[in-house]
């Protein structure tokens, strides 16, 4: 009996060993070689009103101000994906030419702005991380280190002079009580080299959980559908009131620091498509 048990264990072991090692090899090969694509959808709205239509959708802030947008644009960079095992894949980290994007509501198709990422290692991802704005590390590469993206930003009205740098978030439109009839422009962004200029750094990193894993394979291009709730602008953690003192502000002054901190909380992953 004992010998029989020993023999059967032995047999099971020698049968399973090659199988196990085969599996391991396959996994490693797939992780090293296979990659696929990933799509990120940004849908800008007011959570109680739905998608934002420029010059049309009018919201009332928590302080009672009506407001609508004629321009709504922001920069997304340094996207990274964290998989089930905790491995982080950084997509063209601090390389704006390849890894920075401008989400412009004017480009929305049926309310959605699409970012397409390629050469993503095959894996099951459970978190996405991205930057709002352009990091100092990227900016300090200099203008020649990001000529392509700088020109793109220029064409989109998302740049100041090189010395000042990028516009991170551009919000323009009308506001007022009882009706939205006064123009505003709030453009956030760093004033060049923030430590040399002793100005605030408005670059923010945001980490979002995915409700289900995004399963990147050679054949499946998952799509991570993010909702951005623009109620956070004036009705976020800090309630803001537009006035003659701040309705034409550009840069990184205190009002725009508040705007930035509010907007940092506006993103959430609503759902993931794996098809
Ligand atoms: Cu969707």
Distance 272 CA to ligand 1 centre (A): 6
CA of 51 to the centre of ligand 1 (A): 13
Strand 66-83 relative to strand 169-176, pairing: antiparallel
pTM of the model: 0.87
pLDDT confidence of residue 33 = 60
| pLDDT value of residue 35 | 95
pLDDT on residue 92: 98
CB 94 within 8 A of CB 135: yes
Q: What's the CA-to-centroid distance between 52 and ligand 1, angstroms?
A: 16
CA of 125 to the centre of ligand 1 (A): 17
Please state, as a whole number, how many other Cβ atoms lie within 10 Å of the Cβ of residue 207. 11
With CA atoms as reference, report the closest residue to 194 among 163, 153, 169, 171: 163
**Residue 226 CA to ligand 1 centre (angstroms):** 8
Domain limits, the chain: 1-33, 35-273
Q: How far is the CA of 46 from the centre of ligand 1 (A)?
A: 17
The pLDDT assigned to 130 comes to 98
pLDDT of residue 275: 87
Q: 103 C-alpha vs ligand 1 centroid, how far in Å?
A: 16
Distance 40 CA to ligand 1 centre (A): 9
For ligand 1, an ion, list residues with CB under 5 A: 225
Q: How far is the CA of 38 from the centre of ligand 1 (A)?
A: 13
CA–centroid distance, 233 to ligand 1, in Å, is 23
Question: How many whole angstroms separate alpha carbon 103 and alpha carbon 109?
Answer: 12
For 95, which DSSP code? -
Please confirm whether the linkage preceding 178 is cis (ω < 30° from 0): yes
**pLDDT, mean of each 10-residue run, the chain (275 residues):** 47 44 44 83 97 98 98 98 98 98 98 98 98 98 97 98 98 98 98 98 98 97 98 98 98 98 98 95
**Ligand 1: distance of its center to the CA of 271 in Å?**
6
Taking the C-alpha atoms of residue 242 and residue 73, their distance in angstroms, rounded to an integer, is 19
- The span from the first CA to the last CA of the chain, in angstroms, equals 53
């Amino acid at each position: 009996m004992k010998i029989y048990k020993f023999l059967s264990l032995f047999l099971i072991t020698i049968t399973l060993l090659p199988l196990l090692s085969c599996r391991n090899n396959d996994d490693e090969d797939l992780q090293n070689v296979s990659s696929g694509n990933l799509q990120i959808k940004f849908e800008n709205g007011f959570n109680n009103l739905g998608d934002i239509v420029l010059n049309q959708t009018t919201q009332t802030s928590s302080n009672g101000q009506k407001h609508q947008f004629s321009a709504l644009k922001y920069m997304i960079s340094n996207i990274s994906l964290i998989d089930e095992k905790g491995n982080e894949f950084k997509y063209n980290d601090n390389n704006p030419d390849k890894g920075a994007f401008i989400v412009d509501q004017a480009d929305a198709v049926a309310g959605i702005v699409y970012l397409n990422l390629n050469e993503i290692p095959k894996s099951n991802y459970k978190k996405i991380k991205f930057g709002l704005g352009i990091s100092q590390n990227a900016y300090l590469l200099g203008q020649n280190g990001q000529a392509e993206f700088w020109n793109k930003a220029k064409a989109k009205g998302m740049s100041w002079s090189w010395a000042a740098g990028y516009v991170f978030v551009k919000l323009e439109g009308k506001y007022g009580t009882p009706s939205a009839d006064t123009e505003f422009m709030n453009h956030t962004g760093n004033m060049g080299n923030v430590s040399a200029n002793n100005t605030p750094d408005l670059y923010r990193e945001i980490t979002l959980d995915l409700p289900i894993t995004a399963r990147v394979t050679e054949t499946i291009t998952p799509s991570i559908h993010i909702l951005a709730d623009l109620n956070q602008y004036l009705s976020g953690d800090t309630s803001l009131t537009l006035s003659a003192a701040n309705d034409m502000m550009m840069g990184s002054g205190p009002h725009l620091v508040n705007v930035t901190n509010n907007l940092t909380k506006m993103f959430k992953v609503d759902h993931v498509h794996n098809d």
